[in-house]
Structure 1
Amino acid sequence: MRLLILSIISAFVSFLIGGFIIPTVIPRLNDAYYIVYICAIIGFFTPSIYILEKLYVNSKK
């Protein structure tokens, strides 16, 4: 349950980054709406990948 909440928060933060910060830094991406969705999808799966990596490293010890 915590992973789902963390994933949703991470997706929201990535959504904001893709929607507001990236277009102001790179003006050519102002009309590229797909970058917002790409950032949100990456943000949703990042905590899962991080936790799986931690579990894998701990299992190798």
Structure 2
Amino acid sequence: MNKVLGIVLIIVGVALAAWGYNIFDSASSQLSRAFSGDAPIEAWAGMIGGAVCILIGITKVK
């Protein structure tokens, strides 16, 4: 059961990180970064949340 949960967490983490990167790389985000220098919080939350899910998933698979 732990291995299945680990694999699911890895898949969800990769999808979440990709979603965060897509938001970070979007045209509106680039405009926002050009004028204010800040990236959207959703982008950071997606990328960091995805990385955390991947790390937890890897530890569950081992």
TM-score, structure 2 normalization: 0.46
Structure having greater relative contact order (Cα 8 Å, sep ≥ 6): 2
TM-score, structure 1 normalization: 0.46
